[in-house]
Amino acid sequence: MRATVMYSAGDVRIENVPDARLIEPTDALVRVTRACICGSDLWPYKAMEPSETGIIMGHEAIGVVDSVGADVRHIKAGDFVVMPFAWSDGTCEFCHEGLQTSCVHGGFFGNAEIAGAQAEAVRVPLADGTLYALQGGKDEALTASLLTLSDVMGTGHHAAVAAKVAPGRTVAVVGDGAVGLCGVIAARRLGAEQIIIMGRHQDRIALAGEFGATDVVSERGEEAVERVRELTGGFGVHSVLECVGTEQSMHTSVSIVRAGGAVGRVGVPHYEAIPLAQPTFYSNVTVSGGPAPVRAYIEELLPDVLEGRIEPGRVFDRVVGLEEVPDGYRAMNDREALKVMVRP
Amino acid sequence: MRATVMYSAGDVRIENVPDARLIEPTDALVRVTRACICGSDLWPYKAMEPSETGIIMGHEAIGVVDSVGADVRHIKAGDFVVMPFAWSDGTCEFCHEGLQTSCVHGGFFGNAEIAGAQAEAVRVPLADGTLYALQGGKDEALTASLLTLSDVMGTGHHAAVAAKVAPGRTVAVVGDGAVGLCGVIAARRLGAEQIIIMGRHQDRIALAGEFGATDVVSERGEEAVERVRELTGGFGVHSVLECVGTEQSMHTSVSIVRAGGAVGRVGVPHYEAIPLAQPTFYSNVTVSGGPAPVRAYIEELLPDVLEGRIEPGRVFDRVVGLEEVPDGYRAMNDREALKVMVRP
């Protein structure tokens, strides 16, 4: 089958690879109808050490189940499914708590162990725990939004939950990528009164406004902190959604949060420690977040997608076939595209 | 009047100072019946830069109101009061949220601006917001426990709340000082099932056991982390109460918390950044806490003190008169005393 293989920073190829197939009796084989390129895929695109075998990329997909292993009980051939970026058994104590990204038998797609979904098909371990079978929802107009339930919409929602967004609260979203924009949707959906989008790309900021952002801060560093304070009576915001993951964005995040407030971090951290441990102590700031248990959130977010109350699929601004995926990486890395949908 | 003045590390003197008096119309003058030496007082005792004027120390007290300013409405002369370690107006939005330690008009006792309570009397700013008037409770047997509501019991409770202690949870308390021991009381009171006390002082560990600790870990560093994992099925604890504030104790705290768990930090931080930002991200760990809004907690904790369900006053193992306070500092610093009560 055709699949996207990354060999080193900047080196993404579409190749013939052995067909994805059932290995464990708990597996499902899913024919990918849509996949994505993720902002987090750009980290290895910038910095991956050369690999001889390469890695089959991609951790977000929707598709149709082709076949299932002997021990799969609930998922069946023909199901239209969302594939969250993490696979999980659905039965361990972490899964029961709704923290499927810490499943004791689980893991992530698109790495040296488990092939990814930027491919014609993908092997999904622990299919019953991992996959979410959609009843209906095959309306083409909803495809893009359903696809976001595999990662970015659930991740933006997780940032908002970790940052304790609640009705009437003030919120800042650090980062205007696809996750940040979904964070705006999530913050509004949870009732935030003021939503400050922090970013500098005009088209993304415009979309953030349509999603519910009330203010824009395009400054950086200390100036950005001052602007947020000006916009919030000097106090900072109740909730910060950290959707970038750099040292600077984390520094900004803990600088703009109000006393007693919370930072929900979902940007993959490229920093070793959380800065400003003393000021955040004196102001009783909470720092929370991590890889979103998107599997847990599908049920909550799905009705709003199906009924059109939220339209996270609007973050996609380019659709490519599998053969054009390398150019999709380039376009996202050059900030030419916001988020790329892949149609294998 | 007589008061405790610290001039530099190790230099604590009892001196005649100008009498405490009303200055603002919102002040109360409180005759101190009991004060304490706090673990946090040992930080300046170890490291204070020399000061010509010195600092009148002490931020925990109970006492009797001597007189009040013209604008004080609720507190009145003769009231028996708890003085929390922070003063607060009781009316700003932070006070309304129960975060009095971030009061926009508030501050802390025992520093260069506001004299402390290791003295015959103390001036209390914003008396109506700051002081809690006890109805009854003058039973001598309760004095010690009531005194802990001014800081250590409220602080231990805050650590437990920040660490999301709840019925059935597993808890580790890092530090066997007075706050850590109160953290054990708080964790048990909130229904924790397993409470691991981490410390190495036999008498304190014994008291922790009486307060409800179920396990003891006396190792340090990596060995301590392994011991906690052994005691918790390999996962770590749901809730960590960080009651020390050193780089090492914070490192241990974020190393022993379970995926999806929380660290409640109340030890005054002597570290610049919160370590292990990547592993705590991947395991969705929450870090929270700060100076406890003890004023907010008095109402909740008081019935349990009055009815003897909790006995935090047992953390005091020495009572001194004002003239002996310097030796009290020495004894606490030498770990000869756990917590010293001052009877001016």
Q: How far apart are CA B235 and CA B67, in angstroms?
A: 55
Tell me the residues of chain B between 251 and 290 that have a Cβ less than 8 Å away from chain A.
259-260, 262, 265, 268-269, 271-278, 280-290
pLDDT in tens, A212-225: 999 999 999 999 99
Classify B312 as helix, strand or coil. helix
The answer to whether A222 and A228 are in contact (CB under 8 A) is no
What pLDDT is stored for residue A137 in this prediction? Answer: 59
Give the chain B residue nearest A104 (alpha carbons).
B235
Averaged over A127-147, what is the pLDDT?
A: 91
pLDDT in tens, B1-11: 999 999 999 99
Averaged over A35-44, what is the pLDDT?
A: 96
**Domains of chain B (ranges, CATH numbers):** 2-151+293-343 (3.90.180.10), 156-289 (3.40.50.720)
Chain A residues in contact with B246 by the CB 8 A cut-off are: none
Chain B residues in contact with A260 by the CB 8 A cut-off are: 94, 97, 99, 102
Provide the strand spans (E) within B9-110: 11-16, 28-37, 55-56, 61-68, 80-83, 86-87, 107-108
CB contact under 8 A, A286 and B162: yes
User: Alpha helices, DSSP H only, in B220-262?
Assistant: 221-231, 247-256
Test the A interface: residue of B286, B294, B297 with most A CBs within 10 Å: B286
pLDDT at B140 over 90: no
Give the chain A residue nearest B260 (alpha carbons).
A99
- Please give the mean pLDDT across all residues of chain B: 97
CB contact under 8 A, B260 and A94: yes
What pLDDT is stored for residue B137 in this prediction? Answer: 59
Averaged over B199-218, what is the pLDDT?
A: 97
Segment (H or E) for B117: none
The answer to whether A142 and A267 are in contact (CB under 8 A) is no
Classify A293 as helix, strand or coil. coil
Interface predicted TM-score (ipTM) of this complex, two decimals = 0.97
The band of A60, judged by pLDDT with boundaries at 50, 70 and 90, is very high
Q: Which value, to the nearest 10 degrees, does the dihedral of the CA atoms of residues B140, B144, B150, B151 take?
A: -170
The band of B59, judged by pLDDT with boundaries at 50, 70 and 90, is very high
Biggest CA-to-CA distance, chain A: 61
Chain B residues in contact with A169 by the CB 8 A cut-off are: none
What pLDDT is stored for residue A136 in this prediction? Answer: 72
A268: distance to nearest CA of chain B, Å? 8
Q: Report percent pLDDT > 70 for chain B.
A: 100
Give the chain A residue nearest B254 (alpha carbons).
A273
Q: Report percent pLDDT > 70 for chain A.
A: 100
CB atoms within 10 A of CB A16: 9
What pLDDT is stored for residue A342 in this prediction? Answer: 98
Segment (H or E) for B196: strand B194-198
Chain B residues in contact with A94 by the CB 8 A cut-off are: 259-260
Provide the strand spans (E) within B199-292: 215-217, 237-242, 257-265, 286-289
pLDDT at B38 over 80: yes
Rounded to the nearest angstrom, the gap between the alpha carbon of residue B20 and the centroid of all alpha carbons in its chain is 24
* DSSP at A20: P
pLDDT in tens, B96-123: 999 999 999 999 999 999 999 999 999 9
What is the bridge-based pairing of β-strands A28-37 and A121-124?
Answer: antiparallel
Of residues A99, A273, A284, nearest to B260 (C-beta): A99
The band of A243, judged by pLDDT with boundaries at 50, 70 and 90, is very high
**CA dist B329 to A279, B111, B203, B342, Å?**
27, 17, 19, 11
Q: How far apart are CA A108 and CA A91, in angstroms?
A: 17
Q: Report percent pLDDT > 90 for chain B.
A: 98
pLDDT in tens, A165-203: 999 999 999 999 999 999 999 999 999 999 999 999 999
What pLDDT is stored for residue B138 in this prediction? Answer: 74
Q: How far apart are CA B194 and CA B102, in angstroms?
A: 32
Test the A interface: residue of B287, B294, B297 with most A CBs within 10 Å: B287
- Please give the mean pLDDT across all residues of chain A: 97
pLDDT in tens, B220-274: 999 999 999 999 999 999 999 999 999 999 999 999 999 999 999 999 999 999 9
**CA dist B23 to A17, A77, A107, B71, B127, Å?**
81, 80, 64, 12, 12
pLDDT at B149 over 90: yes
Q: How far apart are CA B186 and CA A189, in angstroms?
A: 36
Q: How far apart are CA A290 and CA A338, in angstroms?
A: 22
pLDDT in tens, B322-333: 999 999 999 999
What pLDDT is stored for residue A139 in this prediction? Answer: 82
B150: distance to nearest CA of chain A, Å? 18
CB contact under 8 A, B275 and A273: yes
The answer to whether A5 and A12 are in contact (CB under 8 A) is yes
